[in-house]
Structure 1
């Protein structure tokens, strides 16, 4: 299906989600309702786009996802996928940290790795499920089948690991041969021995795509379809056993048309010489895009519903097509290198046969530099930019690079560059501020405010004009600096300056009452971290307000750990101001605000709350004449630009 003009790319991969869903339905028909399936999405879902494919598969019955390594699993987790993710290959020690952090399920083949994983889990206070991989004849990953029971018994004693699954892999499932039966026998004997030993492993799987088609009796209680979900048969002999439709198409367009005389050399090395007057179309696809060099002078393309030969060498970024027999073709015409156009179709198996490889490699390689266009019900459902398919190692996660990726993703999601930029900059400034301040996450935020009349003081008549304000603030956060500051500002400019100092834990605005003096009427009564009193080191007036500095060398051991911080403050507020605002400037999980005014001599106290977040529905409890309590569950995040304003009459 040709793309609209505004959707054109140099090349693009179309992923037909309707075909993918139909393939899943066919698989579910073959395995029956009692068997679960794991959608295999390794290698970017065989080149189809792992994030979208995973989401569609999960919506259509997949119980879990299968990946090749921790990085692939992390990419899915970061995208928001919460389903179980199994790493099907042996994991390395270096991956353990990511496995734990992102709750991935590793496959285990040896005791040494299991013990290292268990030790790391013990230190982190987590538990994880694992799947035991068994080598029944593949000669690759997994513990040997005759040693597997010993390993399982050993791992079952580890305190932080649960054996959730066990699996093996058939070496030649695309064929019906005795060797597969031999592997099945080894696995069946092992499963029986495990049961006899009193160990229950709930998930058991050996069937991949070929076995689903050729060995339906092997399916156990889970299968792992891969290639057939993408519409390809493991072998031509399997085509009569299921109804599958190819999901991927790889397309580009003609960028140049030229006529050449007889005897003209085309491309590097002039490996093709024109035999007559010849029209050549150039397309912006080469081996750098995964269209293999080996297809030089033997590949095919579809243009205006007709087959046309690739002629000359395939370059890194371009290749050439003889279109002499298609006189009406023009620059901009769609060119199909994989997929259907009109009545003609080029399959991955056809390309693989010419390239001397297998269809799996063709799918994984094609369109390395191309966006994925996801089609559903004949329309573009989503566009995945190439950048999102590049998983960035930790050492390359520069802030500027990540910012650009996020901005481009938002542009694509909004389907409008200007709107995407607007969302990005609003989000960035809301969370990080103009100076790119460090993002602090807080939880268990509690704010107790008590306001009351000031006691009568000698030689002053102004005590009636003010209220005494006592506040207790507490929250949990990751501790960053052993020396930190609490600030009091007299105007919004000073307050803004305090916000830009990452060491400022708490800020107060004292901008009402001509008789108020910050260093006299703003007092930090107590600061505690994990119930230990923290000394005040210094107090001083600066251009940005009144600063109270706290901390000690002993706090250095708390850096980068979660702490509970408590701050108690006493100050005054002009009675006639009749407003008490509370604003959240950091993302917070859970909120509990108590506003106590029983002794303040004010009336008609009311609240106006505004919360930004996914589900920030507050529970509001009012004790008339005494207090107002606002609470949001610890399960919910509240984002900056949220707050509460209390107002009253006098």
Structure 2
């Protein structure tokens, strides 16, 4: 899609080609064998963490850096599998999220390290961690004496794996002597303790430009990669292009005489007849209040001054000398090629920070991502990605209904479909959806020695999260009796016998039942006109909450005078294979799949005496799907 003009209250354009060019310029300044970590904290300085992360990784970034576990979680939700380092200290209450999403926390004290190790032990996992040394910035990190103690503590914590050691320059863009002293101290401490870890990093973007930290394996690229200079001297050393442009439109045009004032507290007074434009952006949109009577905005190539105070939702521009101006004209609030519009120069107008300005820009603005002139993608007004676990079930139900209604363009249909989904999956209750994976069910008929019955041997296997330290197999000779067992979460296998049978182990039995290869103990109960077989083992307690492999083999009798065999899927299932091996005398056999899900027409293959119905491993199959073999 070609670049086009937008007429909105405000929007942000992110130039991915400029970002890529900045990365390459910075990489040219790095050490010959040096890799980099891309810093994407604060939504990649307001640019959009997922989009910036994708470009960075394609340019060789080995990891992503964030400020807290929540930022790391959002990247994981977006599908990023690469290492994610939490650069700031974490809190004990954040440990579950850190482990859930396999983030790398930074250690600065022994107490947190011990709590993290204990949490890992409870889950029987190991966590990769970073250790931060304070080499002179005196913010976060551990000083030299504490570094020694923390290293010694880590040696005694078997569940923590030290992967990264780093420090941070305090003034690498402006104080070379202090930066050299920091680097010297950091390297001396590493040498003293013979620290050997895969990742050691010290240099930030400014340090890369000034040649510090080049001997270390990694560096961290942040603000400069977004085209923002942090010191005037950098302009002579590297050419950087602003990545973000913040735009709005003219909403109203007015004229006032000399002596009239504009805005709250009458802070600006016209010295001549003045024409001015009202722009629908204010400090709530991230246009800083301190730009009141100081800011500069580009309008059709002309730089116009902000007059009056910046309001919550509006600013005013003096357009007296801007030529022809119309409602709907585009204005540039930050970015583009004009020096005055660079974030660092706008921030300098009020002695502010370009970091802050970027992070707060466009809070209510949609973002458009371009690669050159081509629109690649866009993101909604809210920059926060949807994370289902953050919402209660009632809210999720509303979201499901609203999404389906919009998709089918009918609120009535959306309501009906969403209700049916909840009914099928949850049996009209708020219950967690558990699903099976790699479901394989094989039924084999052979001679039983009785002219009225076939010997039916079934082999069932699937993977699923184990919910309890036992499960149940149920067998009944009536649909009504078996129906209750479809609502019980502890029942993993159900078999409907012919109504002429009296239930007994002679007509239905488990020949083998295993979980992850553990042969289970079985105990038979007769209850509610049904056989219940409880399958358990003491070792299952350690497997609860983990995905395990179920294997259930049964032996039973099947009437010869029946002319069909039916197999049904009772749970949401990921990948299905159902096969029926039969005596030749049953031919011809008609196979009738009844599937709902991603593929309504599963593959049917026929061998000499076997018919197989299967889906691809990645295809979802909905409950109540199944197959009928008619003969």
Provide TM-score, normalisation by structure 2: 0.82
- 1:155-184 per-position Cα deviation (integer Å, ceiling 9, x unaligned): 133212111111110111111432111111
1:490 deviation in Å?
9.2
**15-24 or 596-605: which moved more?**
596-605
Which whole-Å CA distance do the structure 2 matches of 1:364 and 1:525 have between them? Answer: 66
Which whole-Å CA distance do the structure 2 matches of 1:560 and 1:64 have between them? Answer: 33
**575-584 or 48-57: which moved more?**
575-584
Equivalent position SS for 2:238 = coil
Which whole-Å CA distance do the structure 1 matches of 2:299 and 2:392 have between them? Answer: 43
- 1:547-603 per-position Cα deviation (integer Å, ceiling 9, x unaligned): 888889999989973476666585757877566555474143x76655332487445
Q: Partner residue of 2:363?
A: 368
Matched, 1:252 2:248: yes
1:138 deviation in Å?
0.9
Q: Partner residue of 2:158?
A: 159
Which whole-Å CA distance do the structure 1 matches of 2:13 and 2:330 have between them? Answer: 13
Equivalent position SS for 1:317 = coil
Change (3 A) 1:624 1:606: farther
Which whole-Å CA distance do the structure 1 matches of 2:410 and 2:369 have between them? Answer: 20
Equivalent position SS for 2:382 = helix
1:386 deviation in Å?
3.1
Q: Partner residue of 2:116?
A: 117
| Cα pair 1:301 1:309 within 8 Å, conserved | yes
Which whole-Å CA distance do the structure 2 matches of 1:36 and 1:564 have between them? Answer: 41
Equivalent position SS for 2:349 = helix
Equivalent position SS for 1:389 = coil
Matches within 5 A, 1:219-234: 219-234=215-230
Matched, 1:381 2:376: yes
| Cα pair 1:145 1:186 within 8 Å, conserved | no
Q: Partner residue of 2:335?
A: 339
| Cα pair 2:294 2:349 within 8 Å, conserved | yes
Provide TM-score, normalisation by structure 1: 0.80
Equivalent position SS for 1:107 = strand
1:294 deviation in Å?
1.1
1:270 deviation in Å?
2.3
- 1:330-364 per-position Cα deviation (integer Å, ceiling 9, x unaligned): 222111100127x6760001111123212111111
Q: Partner residue of 2:260?
A: 264
**358-367 or 322-331: which moved more?**
322-331
- 1:435-479 per-position Cα deviation (integer Å, ceiling 9, x unaligned): 57632133464423233467657xxxxx4xx86655454543242
Matched, 1:329 2:325: yes
| Cα pair 2:521 2:535 within 8 Å, conserved | no
1:23 deviation in Å?
0.9
| Cα pair 1:254 1:334 within 8 Å, conserved | yes
Equivalent position SS for 2:310 = coil
Change (3 A) 1:309 1:272: same
1:323 deviation in Å?
1.9
Q: Partner residue of 2:57?
A: 58
Change (3 A) 1:429 1:152: farther
Matched residues, number: 614
1:417 deviation in Å?
6.9
| Cα pair 1:208 1:225 within 8 Å, conserved | yes
Q: Partner residue of 1:42?
A: 41
Matches within 5 A, 1:289-328: 289-328=285-324
Q: Partner residue of 1:543?
A: none
Which whole-Å CA distance do the structure 1 matches of 2:26 and 2:9 have between them? Answer: 35
Matches within 5 A, 1:586-597: 586-588=572-574, 593-597=578-582
1:260 deviation in Å?
3.0
Q: Partner residue of 1:358?
A: 353
1:534 deviation in Å?
5.9
Matches within 5 A, 1:205-604: 205-216=201-212, 218-340=214-336, 346-389=341-384, 397-399=391-393, 401=395, 438-443=432-437, 445-452=439-446, 456=450, 463=452, 469-475=456-462, 476-479=464-467, 501=487, 503=489, 505=491, 517=499, 525=509, 531-533=520-522, 536=525, 538-539=527-528, 561-562=545-546, 570=556, 572=558, 580=566, 582-583=568-569, 585-588=571-574, 593-598=578-583, 601-602=586-587
Which whole-Å CA distance do the structure 2 matches of 1:303 and 1:599 have between them? Answer: 84
| Cα pair 2:388 2:396 within 8 Å, conserved | no
Change (3 A) 1:645 1:484: closer
Which whole-Å CA distance do the structure 1 matches of 2:82 and 2:417 have between them? Answer: 27
- 1:493-545 per-position Cα deviation (integer Å, ceiling 9, x unaligned): x99x98995748568798xxxx96499799875697962436657436xxxxx
Equivalent position SS for 1:387 = coil
| Cα pair 2:524 2:531 within 8 Å, conserved | no
| Cα pair 2:581 2:609 within 8 Å, conserved | no
- The CA RMSD over aligned residues, in Å, is 4.6
Change (3 A) 1:121 1:281: same
| Cα pair 2:39 2:222 within 8 Å, conserved | yes
Which whole-Å CA distance do the structure 2 matches of 1:518 and 1:264 have between them? Answer: 99
Change (3 A) 1:573 1:284: farther
Which whole-Å CA distance do the structure 2 matches of 1:321 and 1:489 have between them? Answer: 83
Equivalent position SS for 2:336 = strand
1:206 deviation in Å?
0.3
Q: Partner residue of 1:544?
A: none
- 1:185-211 per-position Cα deviation (integer Å, ceiling 9, x unaligned): 11111121232xxx5212111000111
Matches within 5 A, 1:170-181: 170-181=169-180
Structure 1: tracts of 5 or more residues without a match: 458-462, 541-546
Change (3 A) 1:565 1:645: closer
Change (3 A) 1:610 1:167: farther
Q: Partner residue of 1:77?
A: 76
Change (3 A) 1:646 1:404: closer
1:118 deviation in Å?
1.2
Equivalent position SS for 2:239 = coil
Which whole-Å CA distance do the structure 1 matches of 2:398 and 2:68 have between them? Answer: 26
| Cα pair 1:212 1:219 within 8 Å, conserved | no
| Cα pair 1:88 1:107 within 8 Å, conserved | yes
